[in-house]
Amino acid sequence: MFVRAKPYTANGTDNSRPSPDHVCGSRPRIQNSSGGCFQAARGGHQPRATPGLRGRRAAVNLWLRFDRGSWRVDVTDVPVAGVGMTPFGRHAERTGRDLFAEAATRAFDDAGVDREAVEEVFFGNFMGEFAETQGHQGPLAAEMAGVDAPATRLESACASSGAAIRYGVERIRGGADVVLVGGAERMNNLSTADTTEALAAAADALWESRAGMTFPGAYALMANRYFELFGGDREDLAHISVKNHANALENDLAQYQRALTVEDVLGATQISSPFGLYDCSPISDGASAAVLVSESYAETHGLDTPVRITGTGQGSDRFALQDRESMVSTPAAERAGERAFAQADIGPNDVDVAEVHDCFTIAEVLALEALGFYEPGTAIGAARRGETTADGDLPVNLSGGLKAKGHPVGATGCAQLSELTKLLRGDHVNSDVVSDATVGVTHNAGGTVASCVVHVLEADG
């Protein structure tokens, strides 16, 4: 077998629960003086009482010890002036450039900002060379958006437009007033086999793809290892799919506006055990965009910007799954979350709503644990217990998630930003279920979470 992952152990034994030291990780993390991983930094929600949820908060010290030296927390909030996305689904007759032109137009209309004001463009795309034999997409994206500004394409597999947002945030913090970010992907013009092969380029070509590994197979390995260590079963995963499809029912931008039952999910065609068809996100076409501005620009131009990006973080991990210390933890997401939370001066218990990268049902579980919402081994039953449903303590993927909203990989990260911005502003179809929400988080992962970008969004209270 090609996977040679070490057992998920604590103190040398294959325990079902890791020790606190293992949970905190072997690399430096945000710590308080007593060595804890999280500590309350400011007022916010009281610790959640639901089973398995963590009672820790992110520590925000004046100086943060990261993997390389000490970085000072001194950041400004970045207002989200406008967002836009196309409906996700099958658009066989449309090109990626056409889709992005629509998304950008929607974002500019939403923002009330002139295209001429844009100073830079950051655009996410993963498989353009495979699907449309089109590289060098940065200037193309700017042209299709009607913008005359420096433009850069970002590629980080399925986290490509999440990375584009992060670059845009840093550019605003560096002195720009208006930046356009977004992403697009066209996938349905390829056969399913060709799409699967193109997506496999996000894995290790020498040690994973050549051995025949695909992403359904890789995440199935992660799910089975999780079951072995912590318990859980296919029905727990099925509840995640049912939840996310329920959230997408009224979302006109979602690819699938169809309710599922647990029986539907369990009876679906098997893809890679334990996954059936409804455990997997679909092949999608679509685009997303957002206009980010400086606080001074928003004030000077009288823009209504109730939602701001207050924290952003990015992390990486060993590229190949078999080279990682564990198949059931995602350190890239942990690091990205820690850094985003630290910038925003919040902790997991301050978060009201989250959009996470549920490319497969197990991926939602791993994301919730990596972000500190749950202890390792406990998020598997969150949807089944009703904790992450629309009326739960922490609603997750109210957009429908990748599972039901769709997953045009280069557009997904900015689509999360678009949907969460509307949820917090109050103009999303599901805003009523989180009418008092002020803090949201997006989690956008690439590959088997070899890369991850996390953003914290906050709305005026």
DSSP 230: H
pTM metric for this prediction = 0.86
Q: Provide the domain count of the chain.
A: 1
pLDDT at 19: 35
CATH of residue 88? 3.40.47.10
Structural domain containing residue 105: 78-190+284-300
- Domain-embedded: residue 58: no
pLDDT at 36: 35
| 232: nearest Cα among 25, 374, 351 | 374
How do residues 18-77 score in pLDDT, each as one tens digit?
Answer: 333 333 333 233 333 233 333 333 333 333 334 444 433 333 332 233 343 333 456 899
- Domain-embedded: residue 56: no
| Residues labelled as active-site residues | 158, 407
| 360: nearest Cα among 402, 418, 397 | 402
And the tokens for 10? Answer: 């604590």
Q: Could you tell me if 343 and 456 are in contact, meaning their C-beta atoms sit under 8 angstroms apart?
A: yes
- Domain-embedded: residue 361: no
pLDDT at 90: 97
Counted residue by residue, the chain has a size of 461
Dihedral, 99, 104, 107, 111 alpha carbons, nearest 10 = -170
Residues 6+ apart with CB under 8 A from 238: 262, 265, 266, 278, 279, 361
pLDDT at 362: 98
pLDDT at 72: 40
- Domain-embedded: residue 393: no
pLDDT at 73: 52
- Domain-embedded: residue 24: no
- Domain-embedded: residue 459: no
Residue 342: strand, helix, or coil: helix
Q: Which residues of the chain have pLDDT under 50?
A: 1-72
Neighbours of 19 (CB within 10 A): 12
- Domain-embedded: residue 117: yes
Residue 188: strand, helix, or coil: coil
How do residues 106-116 score in pLDDT, each as one tens digit?
Answer: 999 999 999 99
pLDDT at 74: 61
pLDDT at 75: 83
| 427: nearest Cα among 303, 304, 302 | 304
274 vs 266: CA distance, rounded Å: 10
pLDDT at 311: 98
Beta bridge partners of 246: none
- Domain-embedded: residue 369: no
CA 29 to chain centre: 21
